[in-house]
Amino acid sequence: MGDTETYTVTGPDGDEESFELPAGLVDVLSEQGEPATAVVSDVVVQAMAQQAHVIVHHSEGDVPEDIAEMNETAAELFEERFGQSLEDALGHSH
């Protein structure tokens, strides 16, 4: 196994989870001068918004109202962070 870098996420109640990524991968994904933590945070926001989208729009049956609201909030946060709608980034809308 190659070299790794450790990142840690802290939740709102103070619990922490650390994880390893291949050394240099975050640099490959970053723009010049962008902090590594911003890159990892961007990926988390993107992944969570995509997962919420999948749960609401691509699963069988009705989705509870609270989960639909979480999806809407995730899409709004995505747009605030990246300056484009999640629908545009995904290449489709519902």
Q: What is the pTM of this model?
A: 0.87
Q: Which residues pair with 21 in a beta bridge?
A: 5
| Predicted pLDDT at 94 | 78
Query: In angstroms, rounded to a whole number, what is the distance separating the alpha carbons of residues 74 and 86?
Result: 9
pLDDT score of 11 more than 90: yes
In tens, the pLDDT along 29-70 reads 999 999 999 999 999 999 999 999 999 999 888 999 999 999
Helix (H, G, I), strand (E, B) or coil at 74: helix
The whole-chain average pLDDT of the chain stands at 95
Give the span between the Cα atoms of 12 and 8, in whole angstroms.
Answer: 13
